[in-house]
Structure 1
Amino acid sequence: MINSPGHTRSTPGDIGNTPGDPNGTSPTEGLPPVVDRATFQSRLDELRIREKAHTRDGDEIAAERRRLPMVEVPAAAELIGPDGPVTLLDAFEGRSQLIAYYFMWHHDHSAADQCEGCTWCGGHVQELSYLHSRDISFAVLCQGPYEQSRRYRDFMGWQAPWYSAQPSVDTLLAGRQVGLFHLVCYVRDGDRVFETYWTTGRGAEVMEYSYALMDLTVHGRQESWQDVPAGWPQPWPIDGKLLSENGRPLSQWSRLAAGHSDDLDQSDRQRQNG
């Protein structure tokens, strides 16, 4: 068993029997029936037809997305970066497009209490050279103060450009609920900036390759909302702690084990003591 506050997560040995299947045997609980290679390939070929149709549907939706109108936003909207105030236009780093992830921030809370979902998303976007090759920049616009949130970025070992959007977040997220995470796409025309798309919720799963890989496995995400055969493990309930273990976001544990400090106020104390 793996236990965390409020959870009891099952292991394969804890789950119930799977239903029988006339085309094979299922000698182990929580696993599909065993069939011969030809039968397996036949069923996979049937699924592949749907997978390809799903891919083509996604291509068509992306084509519609590229045909959306756009809305102008203040290019001079203030952000805070490592050298002080900058503008939204500066975050493009000279490229024509910008993808911005608006990172939630729990003010005056410890690293352990920071958003598990945003921590999950932030950890997935590391190598930016492929985006840069298509003239696209990526930046995290945190909704909290720069210095404290930058300490969190450093604790997590992330490399993506990091800014505080605190001075302008109400303007940049106009019409949306400030304080929630958002993924927003921008394009610039000279010194003018336009918003072309935004999403939140499961729309941000495009950042999260771990979920895409989990969806290829027999047990999937193991989350309680998923449609699975009877007896399949679903130890991760939808209760706001899908991505945490023992009281903090999962990916923080490896950083602590490697000796990295999660003290978000260290810089302030060092300055006061200096």
Structure 2
Amino acid sequence: MVELVIEQRRRSLGGGMEVGRVLPFAKRRMVGPYIFFDHMGPLDLPPGVDRSVDVRPHPHIGLSTVTYLFSGEIVHRDSLGYAQAIRPREVNWMTAGRGITHSERLERARAQGDRLHGIQAWVALPAEYEEVDPGFSHHAGADLPQWSDGGVHGQLIAGSAYGLTAAVATHSPQFYAHLDMEPGATAEIPAGHSERAVYIATGAVELDGADYAAGRMLVLGKDASRLRAVAHSTVMVLGGEPVGERFLYWNFVSSSKERLAQAAADWKAGRMKLPDADDAEFIPLPDDPPPPRLPSS
């Protein structure tokens, strides 16, 4: 059954870039290890679009970022030296661990125009992996198993579900999948995890006798559940096991407020390495809200 409905809240990232923020939410900060969920676009970008729409170099700790596109292209560059364009139905999985910086540039849009549409999620790392060495991997093709059944065309992004396992290396039990559903098609929501949710990116679905439109996340209980597409719909299903309480400040996630304060101080003082191929600018630490404070010595 549906325990909670979360409607996306529109947030400006600057330069005309706007997202639908879903997680964290006041009444539900996480679903399994998923602590952040942004719906990007759809946004039509004309040729020559200003660089202000890019996401300049910025830092992360204590999480993995998961970028997945329905359309468009984003170029990732990070402090480990990776440079990787991501295109539709591909995954960029970046594990920040003890600290990483990266940028996300819309270079194809600037050159020829583009339609950007996708999801960026953050996965909180279990306590024993919060300070792991940072890493990056790109996945496409056979790494992300696909299937078609009864008008449902699916792709597994991470974890295990529908009898399949994605090649993405995760740090805790979870699943994350993309379903394209034809009108009238039905799909099971994977069971076997403590926490689960459905996000409707486009179209509309029916679940437990009620219809839900795009832009909503349905947080589910443990009972078996099946949804039906009311129209042609793009749906993300996700879930997993909780990793414990997490604190979030700006781009940092941790089980310790003191660690958040240290990360904020490190970024403000310039102690976190910028990407070698993109080090001419960066996003400064925000003043509002103020960062957590380090304990006095």
Question: What TM-score range do you get, normalising by the shorter chain?
Answer: under 0.3
Q: Give me the TM-score of the superposition, normalised by structure 1.
A: 0.26
Q: Give me the TM-score of the superposition, normalised by structure 2.
A: 0.25
Q: Larger Rg: 1 or 2?
A: 1
Identify the structure with the greater helix proportion.
1
